[in-house]
Amino acid sequence: MGKVINFQTNPSKYRHWSVTYDGPVAMLTMDVDEDGGLFDGYQLKLNSYDLSVDIELNDIVQRMRFEHPEVRVVVMQSGKDKVFCAGANIRMLGGAAHSHKVNFCKFTNETRNAYEAAEAESGQKYIAAIKGACAGGGYELALACNHIILVDDAASSVSLPEVPLLAVLPGTGGLTRVTDKRMVRRDLADVFCATEEGVKGKRAVDWRLVDEIVPTSKFDAVVAERAAEFAAELAPAAGRGAAGRGAVAGITLGPLERSIAEDGSVAYSHVEVSVDRAARTAEITLKGPGEAAPTDMDAMHAQGDQAYLLKLAREFEDAILHLRLNEMECGLWTLRTQGDPELLAAHEAVVRDGADHWLANEIRHYWKRTLKRLDVTSRSLVALVEHGSCFAGVLAELIWAADRSYMMEDEFDGDNRPMATITLSEDNFGTYLMGNGLTRLQTRFLGTPDAVDRMREQIGVMMEASEADKHGLVTMIMDDIDWEDEIRIILEERASFSPDAMTGMEANLRFAGPETMETRIFGRLTAWQNWIFIRPNAVGENGALQRYGTGIRGDFDMERV
């Protein structure tokens, strides 16, 4: 195993971004350290980025919500002259392993989705203030903002030049956001995405690529004015599941307690990851709370980043990201829980009953984002509902996020743990939506929506195996005689299949129902980029990525496939 990529960081370690705060407005400045890349062999010139830059941005977006609830507007700008951002670093892409490129694109997509949704979820609006060239992934940074302002100086432009320059696609949702979010006319989008030099000035506004253009002399003043306007507009919206924003201090997100063993296993406070590299499997166990739930959201706020549901989400998210990038041959993840389901339900109830508190709102949306990370992870997922488990409420979502689930039926010889149960809560019916805009239960029972309505009658009921099976909540239930051998055979078989075929099959089966901008990005754009990244036209010896910067265009196999 090579270098371990660490997704944990904090402001004292940032090399590429800085943030200043002025009441409800935060200024987020991208000033990439050329020599601060994740790997050797390239420089991050012209505010180009690699995974290290996005790890910091992801951390900033998260801290903006939890540590600075007073912020209403975030202005994203460049700290360099004549360039906003040149996008993903081409040398990095040219030299990176295929698996790293694909996972890099997935993580950057998730980061863009997080701050794009911040206005609706948290009342925090992102403005892109563009001076200079804004190309490729740089424009994708801007596209995920809620408002784009471009300086009108006859030089600054926006562009998605990946197709003509590199023979790849904009990998972070650019194509989809141009059509689905900016609603650029299809033929104009086609011209735009095939034009190396991009679009500037009035044409950029007319084509809906930006929201407004401003002369250089007035640019800074207009950006400040717009930020103040938006902040004032968003202030009354604090009641949208975010009561108390601005009046209550945020909480500090401290470092996670984590240890990594030689065999790849990882231990946190509430999460354990057991890695079996020989079997190509990982087992993730989420532990239920060890203490009674706080009395209300004020008491949970006082717990800060040690509040159980928040800490569990942070640890689970870190485990997902760690396994994705650092244990890529572990193609099968087994999801387990341990603990008291009633105690877990009590913790979730505090957050649900206090949903108007800003922190409760953030915890719920954080869990939604973390579960979405699981949904789009290219691993086979199997949930095991065992005796002594706590698949209740938010953790019950793991069962329906998994590709298959198996549950222990009746008593097991010599096992004195409480019987395996599944407990639904109100939150399973709308709080943790998938990327398709549906709950996992709605997606599971797409053909029988009445089944979901009837399931509401089971809220709060600790269903044992026969009842859970009757309602279709698990794939199969097994007794003591069959469990050990059947589970072993199932896991061994799954781990033996082609990882390419498994990734394709799982991604197609997981997102039934409506297509959204999010499912188009992860289900369609990512799949095409994955394929293009292994094609010689892009990454071959004479491909466009390899020849970039030499003055010689790629030598393409012109057969259309």
CATH architecture classification, 259-504: Alpha-Beta Complex (3.90)
Helix, coil or strand: residue 315: helix
> Where do we find the tokens 């509040």?
307
Distance between CA 82 and CA 132 in Å, rounded?
4
- In angstroms, how far is CA 125 from the centroid of its own chain? 18
Q: Identify the pLDDT of residue 278.
A: 96
Distance between CA 444 and CA 442 in Å, rounded?
5
Q: Identify the pLDDT of residue 238.
A: 38
Burial class (CB in 10 A: 0-12, 13-18, 19+), 230: buried
Distance between CA 26 and CA 73 in Å, rounded?
6
- Over 80: is that where the pLDDT of 246 sits? no
Distance between CA 137 and CA 155 in Å, rounded?
19
**Does the fold of domain 259-504 match that of domain 12-235?**
yes
Q: Identify the pLDDT of residue 240.
A: 40
Helix, coil or strand: residue 459: strand
- Over 50: is that where the pLDDT of 262 sits? yes
pLDDT category at 281 given cuts 50, 70, 90 is very high
pLDDT category at 244 given cuts 50, 70, 90 is very low
**Rounded CA Rg of the chain:** 24
- Over 90: is that where the pLDDT of 548 sits? no
What would the two tokens of residue 79 be?
Answer: 């700290």
pLDDT category at 248 given cuts 50, 70, 90 is low
Other CB atoms closer than 10 Å to residue 240's CB: what's the count?
A: 16
Q: Which amino acid is at 395?
A: L
What would the two tokens of residue 494 be?
Answer: 């799954």
Distance between CA 440 and CA 430 in Å, rounded?
9
Q: Identify the pLDDT of residue 242.
A: 43
DSSP at 294: P
Q: What is the pLDDT of residues 500-547, one digit of tens each?
A: 999 999 999 998 999 999 999 998 888 888 899 999 999 999 999 888
Burial class (CB in 10 A: 0-12, 13-18, 19+), 168: buried
- In angstroms, how far is CA 113 from the centroid of its own chain? 7
Q: What is the pLDDT of residues 155-212, one digit of tens each?
A: 999 999 999 999 999 989 999 999 999 999 999 999 999 999 999 999 999 999 999 9
User: Angle at the Cα of 32 (from 83 to 85), degrees rounded to 5?
Assistant: 30
DSSP-derived pairing of the beta strands 332-338 and 281-287: parallel
Q: Mean pLDDT, the chain, as a whole number?
A: 95
- Which of 430, 277, 465 shows the shortest CA–CA distance to 355? 430
Q: What is the pLDDT of residues 8-54, one digit of tens each?
A: 999 999 999 999 999 999 999 999 999 999 999 999 999 999 999 99
Q: Find all residues with CB under 8 Å of 505, minimum gap 6, and list them.
A: none
Task: List strands edge to edge, sheet with 391-392.
Answer: 391-392, 422-423, 462-463
Q: What φ, ψ does residue 467 adopt, rounded to 5°?
A: -70, -45
Q: Which amino acid is at 17?
A: W
Distance between CA 323 and CA 113 in Å, rounded?
21
Distance between CA 182 and CA 210 in Å, rounded?
8
Domain locations along the chain = 12-235, 259-504
> Where do we find the tokens 């599944």?
422
- Over 70: is that where the pLDDT of 69 sits? yes
> Where do we find the tokens 């002594």?
388
Distances (CA, A) of 79 to 16, 28, 31, 222, 472: 10, 9, 5, 18, 54
Kindly give the interhelix angle for 358-375 and 51-66, rounded to the nearest 10 degrees.
150
Q: What is the pLDDT of residues 76-122, one digit of tens each?
A: 999 999 999 999 999 999 899 999 999 999 999 999 999 999 999 99
- Over 50: is that where the pLDDT of 241 sits? no
Against a cut of 0.85, is the pTM above it? yes
What's the rounded mean pLDDT across residues 339-353? 98
The length of the chain in residues reads 561
Identify the CATH homologous superfamily for domain 12-235: 2-enoyl-CoA Hydratase; Chain A, domain 1 (3.90.226.10)
Task: Report the percent of the chain where pLDDT is more than 70.
Answer: 97
> Where do we find the tokens 């007073």?
70
Distance between CA 72 and CA 235 in Å, rounded?
7
Distance between CA 237 and CA 356 in Å, rounded?
11
Q: End-to-end distance of the chain based on CA atoms, in angstroms?
A: 35
